[in-house]
Structures are given as structure tokens and as C-alpha cells.
Amino acid sequence: MFRFVKMFAITLHFVLFAQGVPMQGFLGTYHAFNGSDPTNPSTPLWNDFGFGTVAIENSDRDGGYDLQNDLDFQCHKADVNSIFGMLLPPTEGGVVNNPNDTSLYKPVSPPGLIQGAARWSKLSKSCPQISGVIIDDFLGNYVGKVNNSDCVKCPPSQPYMYGSRTAGFYCCSEKATGHCDGPKPPCCLVPGSVEGCQVEARCGTNPTNKPACQEGGISFYDLQNIKAALQGKEVDPYTGTVNHSSPVTTGNLRLFVVWYTVQTAGMEGNELITAPWGNDGYLLDGASLWMEGPAQDTQAGLYTSQIEQFREVTKMRSPDTLPIFTGSYLIHSRVGWLKPAPFWDMVNQSLGLYGNRSIGMEGFYIFAGDAIPQMNTSTWETFDLVGNLEKMYWPHVGMGEGTCVDATGKPVANAIVEVTYTDSQVSVTRKVSDENGRFSFGGWVAGFHKIDVKSSDGGMSGTMSVQFSAGTTKQFSIKLQSSV
């Protein structure tokens, strides 16, 4: 069943758990979590996994933590490799701009996308592992380069709109809650790029198929403002207006979006893929790529081919591959707990793809982190998360402990450390050395990790590559030389 299983997994069990927490890698959770092991209530649940990456919801509480305590745990106590802030779009209760949403650790309702991006920019200055933000359910909210003069609204007799670019936009006689309610059938305003109008008749008011005027949608121009706020450009606290002429202060942060594989068809040539940003970058930095949850039980075996289809559609960015996080569901709001076998099939496919430069996979998310503490004993045993990760994943993970020193051997504190996995050129982590010049991170043992370091004042730099051994910690020093 698991193509990636190695026979030495069992022999490494005691090594991996010698310190009580497994070694970190590129697996993590979408949403944070807290709680105790269902079979051993005295053991913190996080200690069972030691995940290396997490996406934390941009709200005042996620996974049993408030935002400040969540970041303190992930950044400092767990010292994870990477963290993304998860921004909520209109379909998830957010808005593009809420000038009242300015408290650093207390996002208000509805949370603003612009303000959320600015928040995570500020938070990254005390937590270097913050890699950027992911806009949840993005393509279901994206309206493209439209404004009120070149889009179409629903007719007065059916004024309520629902839908998406791939499934089509439809108009209802009563307020829609996901689909049309009431006795009158919906009409199709704009055919979907994948599903056309399905079985619905056209509304008759949009013969040229102009895009839909989605209230509360995210436009291309909104996305530019969100990206600018993420990179630390000034945001007016009273209006939410972004000053694009102000300096970039967090240019390392990246903008990812949730992208369902069913939404890939029809995206060829879309401005999202090729829109430039700055001198040599792109507006969109990556995607969190999911199969829609209800389809997972029956279509998990197609995940790799769907990822390859995504790569084909986005290859026009060449030579820059659009980085991705893959993922699979433990639970979904519409169907409940998913079947374990398809879940593990998708984990296994993703493990085989990591390190493939043409794929550009940066990590894997389990959805949802906060579902793990909800497992009763039966569900816990059925999924056997710890047992399967012992077989499939942890035997291929190692740790590195580095020390930054100057030409005389003196430790260099507060040096900026950036690590990439050389086989695929994807980001692994960004950290800052402590007062003794030390830093640590976990990673895959099959290839080399390239480590680039520069002093906080930019006056010294150094680089080296290391390869880990499974279940062990490699210690090394990296010497910084003058950059002048």
C-alpha cells in the first residue's frame, strides 16, 4: 500500500523518539492544534508529531490557542521550520478591507485581508519562521480584473448570486446559502470554465459572457494591495489604503493561495500566474493545492496527475516553478471523517514528489490540525497517525544544529539563516541565530540543504551545504566572511 516504506523504520523508533518529540520535516497541519494524546492523556498531543510547518488562522483563536500564545509556541518553544498566516476571504467570513482590524494579536470580525497581511508582516519581525500568508478558498472568491463598468449583475427578479469561476455563477430569487433556496430555479449568469451552466437555463441578461460582479469578491487590484501590505508597505490605519510608493520592509514574505485541483482547468494564461511584481518577481508566490474533500475517498489515486496538470498550466512562469504545498483531509465539513486509506495514499504520493524540481513541493498539510484532538479512541486507532508516520515519514528525516562564527571563530548572534532544499530549490526555513550563534532545523535526508547566512548588519555572509542522516542530528559550523 505504501510505496515509500523502508524496512529500517522500526529500528529507528527509539532514536527518533529519544528526546520525546519526533524530528521535524516538511509535514504539518492546516490549522494549529492543542490537547493530549487520546491514549495517554498526560502526553501533550504535539509531542506525538513534532510537525515542522503550520498554517495558523488569522483570527483571535485557532486550535485551542489565542494568536499570541500560538505564535509563541510555534516560533520559540517548538521552533518549527515554517509558519504561514491563513487569511479568511469573504466566503469564510472575511472582507478585503476592514480599517478597524488593526490590533496585532486580536483580529476582529470580520478580519480584513489587507490588515491581515500587514499583521503578519509585523509579526514576522519577531518570528523569522513566518514565511508569508495563504488566502483560504481563494479561487472561489477571485473576480479578476473587473470593476462595476465591465461586469454584470443578476437581474432584479433574481438578485442573489452564488457560484465560482469553474462551476459558473447563478442567480436566485432568494438569498443563497451555497445554492439557491426557494421554489424558483436558479438561472445561469456566467458559464463556468469547467462545468458550464450545468443543467440551468441562462438568465438572458449576459449574452457576451461578461464576468460576474461578485459582491465582496477579491479583485486583481485587491490582491496587489494585499501583497504590498504583506511586504511591509504602509497601510493607512483609518482607511486601509496601501501606499505602494512606500518602502518594502518584509520582502521575504510570500503570498500563497488555496487552489483546488478541480479549478485548474481553464486557468491557462490567467493573470494570476504571470503577473509581475517588483523588479524580478511575481505577484503570486505559491499555492496550497488541494483535492476537494468529498472527492478524496474515491479520487485520491489521481492526485499526482492533478498536480502534474497544475504544473502544466503554470509552466509559463518558467524558469520559476510556482511552489506548492500539497495536503489531504482527515475530516471535511460536508462528509465528516474521511477514509484512512485514501488519506494515506495522498500522503504517500506527496512524499514521493518532494525533491522533484519540476514539482516544486515545499510541504504537506494535514487538514485539519484542530481535528486531531477531536479523535475518539476508535478514530485515533483507525487512522494510526503515529504508526504510519513512523513507517512512511520519520525514517527519512534528520536534524541540523549549526553555529554561525566569524573569521576568528567568535559566535555571530542575530544572523539571518535561510535554508533551501537543493534538489528542488524550495524553501525550508528562515531563522535567526541565538546569542551563541546557534540555530537548528529539520529536513529530508535524501538530498542536500543549502544554508545561506548573513549578519544582521549585512557586513558578513557565508554559505554551505549539508546532508542529514536519518534519525540523527548533524552539528556543523558556518564561517561568515566580510561581504565588503
- Which one, of 316, 322, 328, lies nearest residue 358 by Cα? 322
Rounded Cα distance, 174 and 184, in Å: 9
Sign of the Cα pseudo-torsion (158, 159, 162, 165, in order): positive
Cell of 262: 478541480
pLDDT band at 211 (very low <50, low <70, confident <90, very high): confident
List pLDDT tens digits, range 250-259. 999 999 999 9
- The residue-averaged pLDDT of 171-184 equals 77
Cell of 482: 566580510
When the pLDDT of each residue in the chain is averaged and rounded to a whole number, the result is: 89
Cell of 434: 541565538
pLDDT band at 148 (very low <50, low <70, confident <90, very high): low
Rounded Cα distance, 73 and 318, in Å: 38
The amino acid that residue 143 corresponds to is V
Helices 340-353, 385-392: axis angle to 10 degrees equals: 30
Higher per-residue confidence, 181 vs 235: 235
- The residue-averaged pLDDT of 423-442 equals 92
> In Å, how far are 29, 197, 371, 427, 480 from 49, measured between CA atoms?
10, 45, 14, 21, 34
- % of the chain exceeding 90 in pLDDT: 68
* Cα Rg, the chain, nearest whole Å: 23
Q: What CA dihedral angle connects 228, 239, 108 and 293, to 10 degrees?
A: -50
> Is the pLDDT confidence value at 147 over 50?
yes
> Is the pLDDT confidence value at 411 over 90?
yes
Q: Cβ(23)–Cβ(389) under 8 Å?
A: no
pLDDT at 222 (0 to 100) = 94
Cell of 87: 487569511
Which DSSP helix (H) or strand (E) runs through 115? Answer: helix 113-123
Q: Cβ(328)–Cβ(366) under 8 Å?
A: yes
pLDDT at 115 (0 to 100) = 98
pLDDT band at 177 (very low <50, low <70, confident <90, very high): low
Higher per-residue confidence, 152 vs 81: 81
> Is the pLDDT confidence value at 385 over 60?
yes
> Is the pLDDT confidence value at 117 over 60?
yes
Cell of 113: 485581508
> Is the pLDDT confidence value at 215 over 90?
no
Q: Cβ(50)–Cβ(389) under 8 Å?
A: no
Check whether the bond before 155 is cis (ω within 30° of 0): no
List pLDDT tens digits, range 18-49. 346 889 999 999 999 998 887 888 888 889 99
Rounded Cα distance, 358 and 452, in Å: 23
pLDDT at 266 (0 to 100) = 83
> 443-454 burial, b if ≥16 CB within 10 A, otherwise e?
bbbebbbbbebb
The amino acid that residue 422 corresponds to is T
- The residue-averaged pLDDT of 324-333 equals 95
CA–CA–CA angle 259, 78, 30 (5° rounding)? 20
Higher per-residue confidence, 422 vs 416: 416
Rounded Cα distance, 79 and 108, in Å: 27
Cell of 299: 479520487
Rounded Cα distance, 7 and 185, in Å: 58
Q: Within 13 Å of residue 37, how many CA atoms lie on the same side as its CB?
A: 14
pLDDT at 149 (0 to 100) = 64
Residue written as grid cell 516504506: 5
Of the ranges 127-136, 155-164, 279-288, the best mean pLDDT one:
127-136
pTM attached to this predicted model: 0.86
Q: What CA dihedral angle connects 336, 307, 8 and 426, to 10 degrees?
A: -110
pLDDT band at 243 (very low <50, low <70, confident <90, very high): very high
pLDDT band at 4 (very low <50, low <70, confident <90, very high): very low
List pLDDT tens digits, range 441-484. 999 998 899 999 999 999 999 999 999 999 899 999 999 999 77
pLDDT at 248 (0 to 100) = 96
Range of lowest pLDDT (178-192, 269-283, 415-429)? 178-192
**Number of other CB atoms surrounding residue 244 within 10 Å:** 11
Residue written as grid cell 474521511: 338
Range of lowest pLDDT (315-319, 340-344, 440-444)? 315-319
